[in-house]
Structure 1
């Protein structure tokens, strides 16, 4: 199997980067459909209008329906075709961005991504996570290429709720451990190859930045400012995590996230919050050292990421619920099968309960 690494066509990051969106988009298309939720669109629309006008890009606005589901993707594609649009601009959070990517792929037009939060590694990836209209994980849509443009304005990110930024750190936290598991198993990455040394290094750099700068970045954002620590963690959450996960692969942590979505009480928890707990489950499955567990637990507690089932909404823990999560985690085709050892619902069931106990014990000690 060949080694394959993929990446966005262009990545732009910095305070005020949105001012140049027209210049970057004009090289890709002349009529844009701008898709996003109300908050995301309200955040960028004034600057976008000025920049698009300057660079002669016309556009229409479409509000995101709330879930990256097949019916929502079909609705956006119909809108694209009806209005003769030749580029889509996705703005907002992960589900809106994934919908924009999937719609662009279906309509065969370029896509520009403008995250207004740093809550997931969705912006850079050639992947859309598809849910049912009710919010239950359905499938991964692996796309033939990454977004043509990813533009991240850190001044915009600094104004978003801090919890979303912390959730992004939870998503990025899994990147190195999942990449490492896939490399040890010689498991295929998202484009269907093996990880390059560069991708593994980027995944490790992602983890190192989180541990070194994560708390400092959170504290800065609580004051509504974008410091150099914020710049570094935004890059980790968005670019490094995106490149690391898709060019190295996913493993147990994201599979546990997908399994947890079968419990309705977890639906209020953000993607990265569930991935954070999934990372702890993966470390237990791998029987990682006490030092590694301690470092992850300390980081999660310091920035406010969950390490227990209760913290992601599972107040009443029953064998039936955890068995249901374990079964879904181990479904055929799930990424947990990229671990360098065989897994089963029984071993995952045990690891979930053990991770929850470890998390609770750590919180009581501290």
Structure 2
């Protein structure tokens, strides 16, 4: 029996279909919301506004705030200050992953309820009660804020999601693929394999992996053609919603391991990596974790998928291999400091973490 498992399934209410956003008004009524802060971005906000019919209802008072573009402590402070000044009793976030992370953290600090309307299928940030923190420069803080408050609702419309940039969706597919590769070896350990919520996490991660490796190419093609197909709707829903259940059910045993730790290390110590999306860096991180586990055959199995989706496979291929070897050392020490990395059932030291970086670079170079 585990005494450290925290199960946080997801939002209190979820819907994803054409016209679903019309239900937001009823949910605001359910939470007795009166004065509502709407946090938004720029481009996605203009696309979303026509679908936000609840903004026209006179029974609610709305205040609007354009966020800085980062999920930062500074950005959260701005929301907290404005919410206190305006006596806000509910927050709605309309945008991508960093925005929904920011809204969740600010609502946690304020002790107010919040809901999210994602405009991208780029990661599972809208689903999860945690926030990955960045500096305003885009550099990762190297820490994640976990909180117990779940979103009051996650509602969006596939006709909004399909209008987003395709590369964000591709990155989201890669980020979601990591769920299985990061968690499977951990969950298969003898002392964990019969834990019911961990079993559910494992089943969910497998669902994500199988759907993505099988149907991504078709979903991407449909998105490029603006075709609201069952395939696109299903895979986009897996990215921003179902994927979030893996960590929600499995907590630290099924959340992030070496692939995401490598993402965070790159984001913290390689400024040039900021040109790549979260999921693109995680895609490289999957290969890094497989190299760490010496699962070269799995890398070979994934190579055609990575090539088809044009996903990053090595630091050299990405053009961001650091000239200063001290940067690699900083990343290795950072990864080694992460508790969840050490849940992987292999010997993990700074030496093994370092060796995996160099071996992967050579291995991918050899696949030239």
- Answer yes or no: same fold by TM over 0.5: yes
3-state SS of the aligned residue for 1:124? coil
- The whole-number CA distance in structure 2 between the counterparts of 1:313 and 1:36 is 33
Query: For the Cα contact (< 8 Å) 1:18–1:151, is it kept in 2?
Result: yes
Kindly indicate whether residue 275 of structure 2 is the aligned counterpart of residue 275 of structure 1. Answer: no
- The whole-number CA distance in structure 2 between the counterparts of 1:319 and 1:145 is 41
Aligned to 1:353: 358
- The whole-number CA distance in structure 1 between the counterparts of 2:208 and 2:112 is 31
* Cα drift, residue 229 of structure 1: 1.0
| CA 220–310 in structure 1, closer or farther in 2 if over 3 Å, else same | farther
Bigger Cα displacement from structure 2, 35-44 vs 206-215: 35-44
Kindly indicate whether residue 263 of structure 2 is the aligned counterpart of residue 263 of structure 1. Answer: no
Q: Deviations over 1:183-212 (max 9, x none)?
A: 246899xxxx99531121111111111011
For 1:85-96, what aligned pairs fall within 5 Å after superposition? 85-96=88-99
* Cα drift, residue 267 of structure 1: 1.0
Kindly indicate whether residue 147 of structure 2 is the aligned counterpart of residue 143 of structure 1. Answer: yes
2:156 to 131, 152, 157: 152
- Consecutive unaligned residues of structure 1, counting only runs of 5 or more, are none
2:226 to 224, 227, 249: 224
| CA 323–185 in structure 1, closer or farther in 2 if over 3 Å, else same | farther
State the aligned residue count: 356
3-state SS of the aligned residue for 1:122? coil
- The whole-number CA distance in structure 2 between the counterparts of 1:170 and 1:146 is 25
Bigger Cα displacement from structure 2, 112-121 vs 34-43: 34-43
| CA 180–195 in structure 1, closer or farther in 2 if over 3 Å, else same | farther
3-state SS of the aligned residue for 2:93? strand
Kindly indicate whether residue 309 of structure 2 is the aligned counterpart of residue 314 of structure 1. Answer: no
For 1:1-366, what aligned pairs fall within 5 Å after superposition? 1-2=2-3, 3-7=5-9, 8-28=11-31, 29-48=33-52, 50-54=53-57, 56-138=59-141, 139-184=143-188, 195-248=197-250, 249-261=255-267, 262-288=269-295, 290=297, 292-314=298-320, 319-331=325-337, 333-362=338-367, 364=368
Query: For the Cα contact (< 8 Å) 1:309–1:315, is it kept in 2?
Result: yes
TM-score, structure 1 as length reference: 0.90
3-state SS of the aligned residue for 2:16? strand
Query: For the Cα contact (< 8 Å) 2:36–2:91, is it kept in 1?
Result: yes
Q: Deviations over 1:186-243 (max 9, x none)?
A: 899xxxx995311211111111110111111111111122211111111221112111
- Consecutive unaligned residues of structure 2, counting only runs of 5 or more, are none
- The whole-number CA distance in structure 1 between the counterparts of 2:29 and 2:99 is 22
